[in-house]
Structure 1
Amino acid sequence: MYRKNKCGICLSIVLTGCMNSNSLKNGIQREVDDHGDRFVSVQEYKGEGFKLKNGEEHDKTAEDNRGEIEKAVKAFFLKQYKTDVEIYNIVGNVDGASVFVESVGTPHFYTYAVVPIDSKDTILTDQVHSLDGEVENAIASGVYGLMYEDEFSKLDDVIKEMAKNHGFIGETKEAIQNTATFGYGSPFYYVSFGDLNASNQMMNDYLENPKTSKEEWEKTINPAEIDPQSTYITIQLYKNKPGAYPTNEELEKIVKTMEETEGLPAGAYNILLHDHTIDKETGIGSKETTIERSLPDSIIKKQA
């Protein structure tokens, strides 16, 4: 039931922000290696030092052409997804640059786009793209967050209270803005979809009217058709003091609270407890000291 995480986060699609296998060739690859000097205080980490595999050679080109890249990415999201975005970070990857964005307004989500850079350091602004399913999943999770705004507000309160009682904190807002691609979430958790039918329906409806209100979404989407076991809500908490480590007793108490609390968003809840540090290069907190309750033993909360 409770176990230490010995391989980083093995189920990457669920537990590292919806990264699919195609992400690897485009530089969105986050490996957790045993490099102690890379781990810094999560309380102070704002994304400094974050990098993508084999992206160093494109970092300078991306930064030198930041204005051009920002303009192209904003145009891409408006044309492809009818969405205004704010750009926070541009990081070189093996084929170009990955651009980390946050949606403006609702539904709210974090995601990214890829801008290719050729062998002559030319920015291919006419070839901006997203990887298959990445933005779609992010938008769907944002819609889910909007539909169950009240339930997620309660989840926020519950997690904050648990964190206070057991000596945990979340990631900084700046770290999320500069490194996250997980869709809907907060400093403490994020939401991703394994139910492709529900995700596709939300995406199609969103493209028809991105300004759909919470009340309209509630009429459009039938909650009974969303599989809670395929709606992953991943909670990640960090110890609030250097040198402190999470314990099985703390995990048991947090799990018990989640199991007994009513009125939370439906979904499969995965809980990861970390020490006080995060890998500055990958933005991941998982390491030998991490303990978790997660797939295939998630906490299932069904629709009320």
Structure 2
Amino acid sequence: MNTKNKWIICGIGLLLLLGGCMNMDNANGNGVDEKKGTQDEVEDQSNRLVSVQEYNGEGFSLKNGQENDKIAEAKREEVEKAVKDFFLTQYKTDVEIHNIVGNVDGASVFVESVGKPHFHTFAVVPIDSNEDKILTDQVYSLEGEVENAITSGVYGLIYEDQFSKLDKLLKEITEKYPFTGEKIQAINNTKSFGFGNEYYFVSFFDMEISERIVEIYLENPDITKEDLKEVNLKKLSPESINITIQLFKDKKDSNPTNEELEDIAKVIEDAEGLPFGAYNLLLHDNIIDKVTGSGDKETTVDRADPNYIIKNKH
């Protein structure tokens, strides 16, 4: 898979900054005997792998976050209040908190918006580990992270009926072909991808329109489709809306094939009434790395950028 596709899977900002999506092929470079290091890494990797049907986000972690993870968990109520206040103050949004994961500077808190527009995102709560202190007045999000999630959620609201058709289609595909999606618990505990579900997520790349959508949302968080009529979506190109579908084989020791990829892509291509956008289709084996929450590996087959499945406006 190319670099952009891996970036799409990691999500905007979070794992790149905090050490998920790590390159597991790098030499350790720490002076330890390379042969021993490789053997230990293989054993560690085997302990990290779990079936997609079993994975609920347990074991997910961020680089160098062990100490802050303990502090954040011990002061969970304080962390949760700080994050809920942050989203209400900065984004006028009620959120449900799903997971708190230590990182090198504090704790990453994975949240889901309450109601519609619906989206997953995260915020960071800094921690002074020397003082065991939660810096509740310094909560922040990565630049553009929450804004992108809001735009993604609003897009899901605008095309609500079309996304319902996509949900139905993907359910039919998983009934006909030996594939499944991720568990909702895993999504809630490890993902910050904006609008999406166990089968897909939406990424929005037109920054001008995104900024206007966020402005309208902040003026009225109870935004409806009617409120969005003034947003001119006609000039959007399909490539500015990426809908990334990820399916997993439903049995262990089973790898996806190019034939399956072609068949499923054809089903999506032929389907009518789906959301406008450029579709990435990724088929994984049955296994997820429980530390990074990713199913991406050498066995993955994909049809993606630049060979999107394009669905035009109706």
TM-score class, shorter: over 0.9
Which of the residues 112, 115, 137 maps onto 1:126?
137
SS in structure 1 at match of 2:280: strand
Q: Where does residue 77 of structure 1 map in the other structure?
A: 87
Deviation, structure 1 residue 193: 1.1
Q: Which amino acid aligns with 2:300?
A: T
Q: Which residue of 2 aligns with 1:30?
A: 21
Task: State yes or no: 1:138 paired with 2:138.
Answer: no
**C-alpha distance after superposition, 1:232-288 (max 9, x if no partner):** 100000001111110111000011111111211011100110011111001100011
Mapped contact 1:236–1:274 kept (Cα < 8 A): yes
| AA in 1 matched with 2:179 | F
Q: Give 1:49 shift.
A: 0.3
| Amino acid paired to 1:264 | L
Answering whether residue 118 of structure 2 is matched by residue 108 of structure 1, we say yes
* Match among 155, 160, 183 for residue 171 of structure 2: 160
CA–CA separation in structure 2 for the residues paired with 1:206 and 1:19:
22
1:58 paired with 2:52, answer: no
> Hey, what does 1:40 align to over in structure 2?
50
Q: Is the 8 A contact 1:56 1:92 kept in 2?
A: yes
Distance 1:130 1:280, change over 3 A: same
SS for the counterpart of 1:159 is helix
| Matches of 2:205 and 2:308, distance apart in 1 | 14
What's the offset of the Cα at 1:199? 1.2
SS in 2 for 1:71: helix
- 1:192 matched residue in structure 2: 203
Task: Determine which of 199, 207, 214 is the counterpart of 2:225.
Answer: 214
Contact 1:271 1:293 in 2 (8 A): yes
Q: Which whole-Å CA distance do the structure 2 matches of 1:69 and 1:124 have between them? A: 9
Amino acid at match of 2:73: E
> What code does the residue aligned with 1:183 have?
G
Q: For residue 206 of structure 1, what is the amino acid of its counterpart?
A: Y
Name which of structure 1's ranges 142-151 and 191-200 shifts more when overlaid on structure 2.
191-200
Instruction: Find 2:299's aligned residue among 289, 293, 302.
Output: 289
* 1:11 corresponding residue in structure 2: 5
Aligned to 1:254: 264
Shift of 1:32: 5.5
Extract unaligned runs of 5+ from structure 1: none
Secondary structure, counterpart of 1:44 in structure 2: coil
Larger Rg: 2
1:292-303 equivalences in 2 (<5 Å): 292-303=302-313
Cα offset for 1:29? 2.8
**What is the DSSP-based 3-state SS (H/G/I as helix, E as strand, rest coil) of the residue aligned with 1:117?**
strand
Counterpart-to-counterpart distance in 2, 1:16 and 1:267: 20
Contact 1:32 1:282 in 2 (8 A): no
Which aligned runs of 4 or more in structure 1 are off by greater than 4 angstroms?
none
1: CA distance between counterparts of 2:165 and 2:155?
Answer: 15
What fraction of aligned residue pairs are identical, expressed as a percent?
Answer: 58
Structure 2 residue aligned with 1:241, among 222, 237, 251?
Answer: 251
Alignment partner, residue 174 of structure 1: 185
- Alignment deviations for residues 49-92 of structure 1 (CA, whole Å, 9 cap, x no partner): 00011111211001001000000000000000000000010000
Cα-Cα RMSD: 1.5
- Using structure 2 for the length normalisation, give the TM-score: 0.90
Please tell me the residue identity of whatever aligns with 1:185.
G
Q: Does the 8 Å contact 1:46/1:172 carry over to 2? A: yes
Equivalent position amino acid for 2:205 in 1: G
> Relative to structure 1, is the Cα distance of residues 174 and 32 closer, same or farther in structure 2, using a 3 angstrom cutoff?
farther
Query: What's the TM-score once normalised by structure 1's chain length?
Result: 0.93
